[in-house]
Amino acid sequence: MRKGLQNLDTNENNNFKIIAVDDEEGIIDSLSIFLKRSGYKFTGVTDPMEAIEKVKNEHFDLMILDFIMTPIHGDQVVEEIRKFNKELYILLLTGHKDLAPPLETIRRLDIQGYCEKSDKFDQLLLLIESGIKSITQMQQIKKVNEELKTTYEMLENAYLESIQTLRYTVDAKDNYTRGHSDRVSAYSVLIGKALNLPEKDIKTLEIGGLFHDIGKIGVPDSILLKDSKLTDDEYSEIKNHPSIGAHILSTASIFNDIIPIVKHHHEKYDGTGYPGRLKANNIPYLARITAIADSFDAMTSKRTYRDSLPIEVVVQEFEKCKGTQFDPQLTDIFLDILKNHYDKIQEIQEKYK
């Protein structure tokens, strides 16, 4: 068992109800032993039709769901559940990665994560831990929502303060992110103004940049703070942060405009990015802008394994990646800023050191 999970407060875990659905009795038994030992309230079901009825009539915080089952597969189970429950956090298990449902289906059904079955449960445990963190934050935001119904202005301010607190929490536990979100926000606004975007879009870029990495609150500290090379499982966990962030913000309608930025700022123009492998114009326009700002700050920030890159190298990198990683038109706009208005970049860097 991972050390991080050994340290979890089992009394606190008792607040969460997990349902697992798998037509293999052995998998259910193994999950039952582990999750109950960790303090969770656990329900195991081998019949997917029974699972749908249980979710309809009982509250569960998280579902662990096998993909290949009879009489219906896991994606069909989610299809039915999403008709009446949009909030259940769902993790999908597959016997083999080649048997996983297409990414389009995973996106459409809002499945938060999936992994291959393993005797060790390592990746699944990481996903459960992140899921519980995300659920906890969503519950806190909902609690604020219930307490501050009186006026929309009070509700909006409370949400903004809550998410700001989460953002500062991310900044506090990861030295790299300290100031990063402020700079990404400012760079995004700079690009937006160069494009003469309307004020509404400028404001969305500003707030989206501030909160684009909020999903890192759901990434285990053992991964986020690791100073050596990440394993494949750990890198997969890092890649979940855009979806986690979008899920956290989805409970508040005031964040609807920035969710596409939060969820898709790691997409690439050629379709090789994540989480959706969206391509070209299918990537939300403002997310394409934020992706440039985010990458620029990553290149020009000092990391544990390298110093910040010289501006000449950064320019070369953007020219090389134009049309593959980045939107070519937006890249040209940003390159013009770098070459002819670099003083504005320096002002931002000085302000948010």
Q: State yes or no: pLDDT of 3 exceeds 60.
A: no
Q: Where in the chain is the domain with CATH 1.10.3210.10?
A: 150-351
Among candidate residues 220, 204, 198, the one with its CA nearest the CA of residue 284: 204
Q: Which of 68-72, 175-179, 201-205, 233-237 has the lowest mean pLDDT?
A: 175-179
Percent of all residues in the chain with a pLDDT value above 90, rounded to a whole number = 47
Cis peptide bond prior to 284, omega within 30° of 0: no
Look up tokens 């986020």; give the residue: 224
All CATH 3.40.50.2300 domain ranges of the chain, comma separated, are 3-117
CATH fold of 3-117: Rossmann fold (3.40.50)
Determine which of 76-80, 95-99, 179-183 has the lowest per-residue pLDDT on average: 95-99
HEC string for 9-60: CHHHHCCCEEEEECCCHHHHHHHHHHHHHCCCEEEEECCHHHHHHHHHHCCC
Q: What is the mean pLDDT of residues 52-68?
A: 93
pTM above 0.85, yes or no: no
Question: Domain spanning 150-351 has what CATH number?
Answer: 1.10.3210.10
pLDDT the model gives residue 150 = 61
**2 has pLDDT over 50:** no
DSSP 232-288: HHHHHHHTTHHHHHHHHHTT-GGGTTTHHHHHHTT--TTS--SSS---GGGS-HHHH
C-beta contacts of 170-176 below 8 A and 24+ residues apart: 170/213, 170/214, 170/216, 170/217, 173/221, 173/224, 173/225, 174/216, 174/224, 174/225, 176/301, 176/303
DSSP secondary structure string for all residues of 309-334: PPHHHHHHHHHHHBTTTB-HHHHHHH
> Which pLDDT score is estimated for 104?
80
187-191, 247-251, 310-314: range with lowest mean pLDDT:
247-251
CA-to-CA distance for 258 and 323, rounded, in angstroms?
24
Tens digits of residue pLDDT in 152-202: 666 666 666 777 777 777 666 666 656 888 999 999 999 999 999 999 999
pLDDT reading at 138 higher than 90: no
71-80, 83-92, 146-155, 318-327: which has the highest mean pLDDT? 318-327
Residues with active-site annotation: 216
- Mean pLDDT check: name the lowest of 138-147, 176-185, 209-218: 138-147
